[in-house]
Structure 1
Amino acid sequence: MGSWTRPTCKCCISKAVQPLVALELIEDINMETKRWLMTRIQAEKIVGGAELMVHPGEDDDGNMLLVSASQHVLLRAAEVVGLYKLYKDGSMIAFSYRDSRNFQNSDNINEFLTLAERQFIILRTLENIKVVDEKYIPGYPTETLYPGEAIFNRLQKSKILHTFYPLHDEQILCKLGARWHSYTNLSLQPIDSIYSYFGGSVAMYFSFLEFFTCSLMPIAAFGAAVVLLSMDTIDKCILFSVFNMIWSTVVMELWKRHSSVLSYTWGTMQMNSQFEEPRVDYKGSMGINPITHRYQPYYPAWRRKLKIWCVSVPVLCLFLSFSLFGMYVFFRMEALVKAYYSENDGCWACVLYLPSILHTLYVTGMNSLYKMVAEVLTEWENHRLESSYQNHLTIKVLVFRFVNCFAALFYISIYLQDLELLRKKLASLLVLTQIINQLIETSVPYLYKTIMRKGAGLKKMTMENTPDIDKIKLQGEMSSFPGMFDEYMELFVQFGYVSLFSCIYPLTALLVMVNNITEIRMDAMKLCHLFRKPFISPAANIGVWQTAFEIIGFLSVISNCFLISISPQVEGYCAENNITPKNVLIWTVGIEHALLAIKIILAFAIPDVPQWVKLRIERVEYQSLQALKHKLAEADKDDSREMAAKETLSDGTTGFNSAESSLYTSNKQLNLL
């Protein structure tokens, strides 16, 4: 069995090395390719390497590579990546390798950089290994390489690199699991520990899930009080509508403040976005990138737009028509069941819920089916960047999910104006959807524990004498982490139910809150034990989902105002006082505009970033500006001394004239900048 390659820095040599990332090559990998890849990973950057430490795995002839990094390499890479760390004065500033002594805990790499950050740095370092003078992949002459091409990306495209994943730390994971997904622990989630182990995107989702669940407590208590006290319908609708408007606004604005505090303390708020490499699955004719001047695939934007507008959009419209057809069938069934129930007095009342139950199952199935179709379509559109791919996929699924989940509710409230049917439909959607989700959430971990562990491979994981390399291989056999897309989508639908229609069904928030308490633990258990540990990039917020939730908040004002206007009590009051439907509509629109104005005022009145965070950021920016001015002043002094020396050596010659001197100084300042 081989050993770890030595780090480039002698002071970083140690007996124990923690493997951070595993690379699995294809089973019949050519050993020439493996040796070449190891050489490029460990070589110095001046010759095109990554200066990382690499281990050949179980044996030199195997298909696995383990990668780690020395302390100084990680610190230098942290500066390149642009990580923000805690300075000696308590502020978060961009890490500087030359000034590392003034950063807190920089002498202890495990304290200074979290496990997720170290693994993220190694991933970025591997992705930045470029072709130098190779014409093809050693061992595979048909796989041509281009100057400046990313080797890591090319190995994935050529299917030579089978998979790669960050490795778990069993001791840290056990401690985190005991505090996180244990039902005996009723305290809040260890968000900072989640960030340290899994990274920013995962920690941000679980923080938002916890924040959203806690924010449901007042509206859930208010809804329970309304039901228990049997308040008058009009009072209930008016109170809930106003409460919903204030709640949806305040919750999202307070979440912005909370997420800004988290991102500042994690050092992700001010991180600059790096130049993104093309996606592995991005295809196109090879050409020179005008920005990087490297050979990279190119796909015309007009072809992508043609695919979107001529195929993806029509397919979306087709599925929307399926959704509307299902809604039509639901209303037809509703009418038939009502007629049957009225004609048969001895019929069970639960039959009235049958159409809603069947339609809810149809909605759930269509959601899953279109999600798969949207993924295929978005991949076929051939987006160059991962961020572009995720945005287009999110928009597709968001549009369909909104129509599929809420169209029937809007039709009942706006066209039919049947509040009783709306209440029944909302109750069936909430209860049945949550039952289905909970069955899936709980059955998968249960099967993992009871069936999967019966296999011989997973039994080894529980044995103390299991070799470390076998544990690493078992991690590679787990399913890849699917991301947080479905979880955010579920929260989006829940937020819509609560903010749009909970005035009709006051127990909505209570049901959602109970569901989410279980959801937190189930999601945590799956992430810790069911999936491979994912590579997670730093995150400053929840991204496009913030906009989606805010749009629902604005729609909630319109929805709640309209539901008040069609309530039987309001209609009775208007009939008694001879108020025409036209005047009711005018009053509804006027009140709705007034509430929207209040909502906008509340949004501006609550700052997105706390004052103390703003002050710290501005102080760092001021100090950076002062340091830059000081460097420019020192450069001017050095230029003056240099020109004076040249004039002395010129034996009476005039030296630089004023224009040349000014140009020289300007160029010097630009170089410093």
Structure 2
Amino acid sequence: MNGSNGEERVVHEVAMVVPKRVLEEEEGDCVEVLVTELRKKGMVVDRVVGLAHEFLKVAAPSEILGNAAAELHIRKPTRLGIDLPFEMQGSEAFIRQPDGLLFSWFERFRCYQHLIYGIVNSGGHDVTLKLDGREFCWTAGESLLRRLESEGVIKQMFPLHDELKRKELLQNWALNWWNCTNQPIDQIYSYFGAKIGVYFSFLGMYTQWLIFPALLGFIVQMVDFGSLQFLALPSFFVGTILWAALFLQFWKRKNAALLARWQINCLVGPSQGYRFLGMEWSSLPFPKELIKNLGNERAKEKEAYQRYEWFAYRKRFRNDVLVIMSIICLQLPFELAYAHIFEIITSDIIKYVLTAIYLLIIQYLTRLGGKVSVKLINREINESVEYRANSLIYKVFGLYFMQTYIGIFYHVLLHRNFMTLRQVLIQRLIISQVFWTLMDGSLPYLKYSYRKYRARTKKKMEDGSSTGKIQIASRVEKEYFKPTYSASIGVELEDGLFDDSLELALQFGMIMMFACAFPLAFALAAVSNVMEIRTNALKLLVTLRRPLPRAAATIGAWLNIWQFLVVMSICTNSALLVCLYDQEGKWKIEPGLAAILIMEHVLLLLKFGLSRLVPEEPAWVRASRVKNVTQAQDMYCKQLLRSISGEFNSLTKPEQEQQQDSERF
């Protein structure tokens, strides 16, 4: 990004935390050596002294980042429509990002990591580094940052907020309440990366599409249709199922359009992994001895691969069974006890308190189950990090799904009381939304305040003064005290979007699977999502550090979960209608009940039929892709013809010269 005078604006995008020096600076000081090496790489380093630590803010000019991208062989789209490895000399041929920069945030951060971790001891001899009287050796060929991290000198490295862009997003997005669902998606993508940009695009589209079922549900809930009342709920049920199926199909179209607009190529390879920006995400983790012997003995080789493949499937199946059995044996009695106590209690206030305690216990148990799932996944044989992340999502969602809906299913199947079920749904929706909002907004701020308090208290104890207020002046230190955008089950495979996506999926399941019991839930969900957009934006821009960029082209496994919830909602709402119209409890196949069963099968066919009728890509995206492929083929064909003709000329030229010489004589 350029400044007002046409000069490049220096933006410190990465910070490193090092110990605050106790003794005077001495020769061979490791922090000074690190700063010197960073500046030799062409980076701009600013040292800031805080209350308890020192911070190194690092910035890199576009030329330095371009050289790093060329060394990493990052493939980028060109104006010709094909992806080529980046070269700094031909930078004008590559398409720029929506914010005008040459590299996306994901690419820039990857270049920063390459530059910083690429500082090695190339002197051919060991170097002695010092820090406050302590000495350690930096061996030849070793990465300096790795060495400093192992010695505890580099405590953390984290991305920094760009104040100018952050304030623009605050004004145009987080604090712009007039545009309820319209968001600057391109700015979000440029600042946070593709994964967060895709999520907020999905959340905004979902909230916009909720307006139709919200209005329809409000009418069905509030208006008395008289003699046609018995048709209101089935009609609403059919409308919501068609709405959900169309929404998911049109989201796929919008996702494809976003990727085309952001020039992100998402190609599915043989292992169903993604190639993003020319980097292979997944590779089959077969043992080295199998790969070395590839092609020697085809029959034995095929048998070994099949045995290894089925062994991996067996381990994943075993872990899934362990998760399911733990839910049934440990949590099912707890869920049924809660549902039974809820039915006995008569006071509404006590019911709300009971539901709040129940949700807190569920949250704790599910986080514990998520951590166990992470350990189980580490013992699995998955084809890629993406497969491991998807396996984690499915397992943890299964935990939440069972915990969230077992009690509700108990009310439906055993008591068959619509008023009780509606009361349970209202309490669940209200308390769960309040709980998630408090967790999203309050918990990060409390962590931030507590860390600042500890730092100030420690500083007062070191100075020996009990009076006076200690101010934290530097912005980088304030960023350091802020919590990271991490998942509640751990940061190994997922970031904070895991919790946000889980919350959204549970809300969708709640309003869809019990649509006939409480049509007004869609209106409550729409209002909640409008608030969710702003609170999440404030959380990302104000109370949390800038998230680490993650490469993602879609919402991933969550789309499959939403598809599953649509199918489940067809079954559950059909069961609800049976309970509603079979008031005698005899479960006889009367004309009305038979019509409900027929409607269930028709809706299932329509749901899967719409996925075939509505194209997943807009026509202009397909046309653009075909055009790019055609241009690439033409270019490669021309280059191939030139190379062939050049080789042919080089071979025939000596023969022609000999023939001419013979003719002269």
Partner SS state of residue 279, structure 2: coil
Alignment of 1:374-453 (within 5 A): 374-375=373-374, 386-444=385-443
Structure 2 distance, partners of 1:301, 1:38, is 48
Deviates more, 1:240-249 or 1:419-428: 419-428
1:291-316 CA distance string (max 9 Å, x none):
9xxxxxxxx99999999777886466
1:127-178 CA distance string (max 9 Å, x none):
667887979896499899898x887667656655321122222122112101
1:254 aligns with 2:250: yes
2:279 alignment partner AA: Q
1:494 paired residue number:
507
1:123 aligns with 2:113: yes
**Alpha-carbon distance change, 319 to 191 in structure 1, aligned in 2, over 3 angstroms:** same
Structure 2 distance, partners of 1:176, 1:230, is 45
Match of 2:160 among 141, 162, 167: 167
1:268 aligns with 2:264: yes
Match of 1:478 among 479, 482, 486: 482
For residue 327 of structure 1, report the CA deviation from its aligned partner. 1.7
Match of 1:100 among 86, 91, 94: 91
For residue 251 of structure 1, report the CA deviation from its aligned partner. 1.0
Q: Is the 8 A contact 1:116 1:196 kept in 2?
A: no
1:199-257 CA distance string (max 9 Å, x none):
11111111111111111111111111112203466323201210121011111111111
1:612 paired residue number:
620
1:602 alignment partner AA: L
Match of 1:241 among 233, 237, 241: 237
Query: What TM-score do you get using the length of structure 1 for normalisation?
Result: 0.74
1:10 paired residue number:
none
2:269 paired residue number:
none
Structure 1 distance, partners of 2:110, 2:447, is 28
1:325 alignment partner AA: P
**Alpha-carbon distance change, 589 to 63 in structure 1, aligned in 2, over 3 angstroms:** same
**Alpha-carbon distance change, 160 to 586 in structure 1, aligned in 2, over 3 angstroms:** farther
**Alpha-carbon distance change, 197 to 351 in structure 1, aligned in 2, over 3 angstroms:** closer
Deviates more, 1:491-500 or 1:424-433: 424-433
Q: Tell me how large the CA RMSD over aligned residues is.
A: 4.6
**Alpha-carbon distance change, 628 to 397 in structure 1, aligned in 2, over 3 angstroms:** same
Q: Is the 8 A contact 2:445 2:543 kept in 1?
A: no
Deviates more, 1:304-313 or 1:22-31: 304-313
Deviates more, 1:259-268 or 1:408-417: 408-417
5+ residue gaps, structure 1, are 1-12, 44-50, 279-286, 292-299, 342-347, 459-465, 654-673
Deviates more, 1:121-130 or 1:540-549: 121-130
1:193 aligns with 2:187: yes
1:193 alignment partner AA: Q
1:550 aligns with 2:563: yes
Partner SS state of residue 210, structure 2: helix
**Alpha-carbon distance change, 594 to 128 in structure 1, aligned in 2, over 3 angstroms:** farther
For residue 321 of structure 1, report the CA deviation from its aligned partner. 3.2
For residue 566 of structure 1, report the CA deviation from its aligned partner. 2.2
Match of 1:520 among 522, 529, 533: 533
Q: Is the 8 A contact 1:244 1:499 kept in 2?
A: yes
Structure 2 distance, partners of 1:81, 1:467, is 41
1:402-437 CA distance string (max 9 Å, x none):
111112223333454333332222222111111222
1:634 aligns with 2:642: yes
Q: Is the 8 A contact 1:326 1:362 kept in 2?
A: no
Partner SS state of residue 193, structure 1: helix
**Alpha-carbon distance change, 24 to 456 in structure 1, aligned in 2, over 3 angstroms:** closer
**Alpha-carbon distance change, 229 to 76 in structure 1, aligned in 2, over 3 angstroms:** same
**Alpha-carbon distance change, 326 to 33 in structure 1, aligned in 2, over 3 angstroms:** same
2:62 alignment partner AA: Q
Structure 1 distance, partners of 2:440, 2:522, is 20
For residue 631 of structure 1, report the CA deviation from its aligned partner. 0.4
**Alpha-carbon distance change, 184 to 517 in structure 1, aligned in 2, over 3 angstroms:** closer
**Alpha-carbon distance change, 155 to 449 in structure 1, aligned in 2, over 3 angstroms:** closer
**Alpha-carbon distance change, 126 to 305 in structure 1, aligned in 2, over 3 angstroms:** farther
Query: What TM-score do you get using the length of structure 2 for normalisation?
Result: 0.75
**Alpha-carbon distance change, 32 to 352 in structure 1, aligned in 2, over 3 angstroms:** closer
Provide the aligned length of Structure 1 versus Structure 2.
592
1:608-655 CA distance string (max 9 Å, x none):
1111011011101110110000000000111012112344688999xx
**Alpha-carbon distance change, 26 to 565 in structure 1, aligned in 2, over 3 angstroms:** same
1:394 alignment partner AA: I
For residue 524 of structure 1, report the CA deviation from its aligned partner. 0.9
Structure 2 distance, partners of 1:544, 1:217, is 25
Deviates more, 1:640-649 or 1:553-562: 640-649
Structure 2 distance, partners of 1:599, 1:543, is 20
Structure 1 distance, partners of 2:193, 2:280, is 20
**Alpha-carbon distance change, 424 to 124 in structure 1, aligned in 2, over 3 angstroms:** farther
Structure 1 distance, partners of 2:361, 2:38, is 51
Deviates more, 1:308-317 or 1:361-370: 308-317
Q: Is the 8 A contact 2:234 2:577 kept in 1?
A: yes
**Alpha-carbon distance change, 143 to 261 in structure 1, aligned in 2, over 3 angstroms:** farther
Structure 2 distance, partners of 1:381, 1:153, is 29
For residue 508 of structure 1, report the CA deviation from its aligned partner. 0.9
Structure 2 distance, partners of 1:212, 1:134, is 59
1:283 paired residue number:
none
Alignment of 1:140-159 (within 5 A): 156=149, 159=152
For residue 442 of structure 1, report the CA deviation from its aligned partner. 4.2
**Alpha-carbon distance change, 96 to 442 in structure 1, aligned in 2, over 3 angstroms:** closer
**Alpha-carbon distance change, 391 to 105 in structure 1, aligned in 2, over 3 angstroms:** closer
Alignment of 1:504-543 (within 5 A): 504-543=517-556
1:202 paired residue number:
196
Partner SS state of residue 519, structure 2: coil
2:168 alignment partner AA: K
**Alpha-carbon distance change, 150 to 486 in structure 1, aligned in 2, over 3 angstroms:** farther
2:610 paired residue number:
602
1:479 alignment partner AA: P
Structure 2 distance, partners of 1:642, 1:136, is 51
**Alpha-carbon distance change, 35 to 325 in structure 1, aligned in 2, over 3 angstroms:** same
Match of 2:333 among 302, 315, 325: 325
For residue 593 of structure 1, report the CA deviation from its aligned partner. 2.4
Deviates more, 1:511-520 or 1:369-378: 369-378
**Alpha-carbon distance change, 536 to 648 in structure 1, aligned in 2, over 3 angstroms:** same
Q: Is the 8 A contact 2:484 2:545 kept in 1?
A: yes
Q: Is the 8 A contact 2:484 2:544 kept in 1?
A: yes
**Alpha-carbon distance change, 76 to 142 in structure 1, aligned in 2, over 3 angstroms:** closer
Identity %: 22
1:67 paired residue number:
58
**Alpha-carbon distance change, 130 to 456 in structure 1, aligned in 2, over 3 angstroms:** closer
2:47 paired residue number:
57
2:299 paired residue number:
none
Q: Is the 8 A contact 1:180 1:190 kept in 2?
A: yes
**Alpha-carbon distance change, 109 to 233 in structure 1, aligned in 2, over 3 angstroms:** closer
1:456-476 CA distance string (max 9 Å, x none):
989xxxxxxx999x3223322
**Alpha-carbon distance change, 17 to 515 in structure 1, aligned in 2, over 3 angstroms:** closer
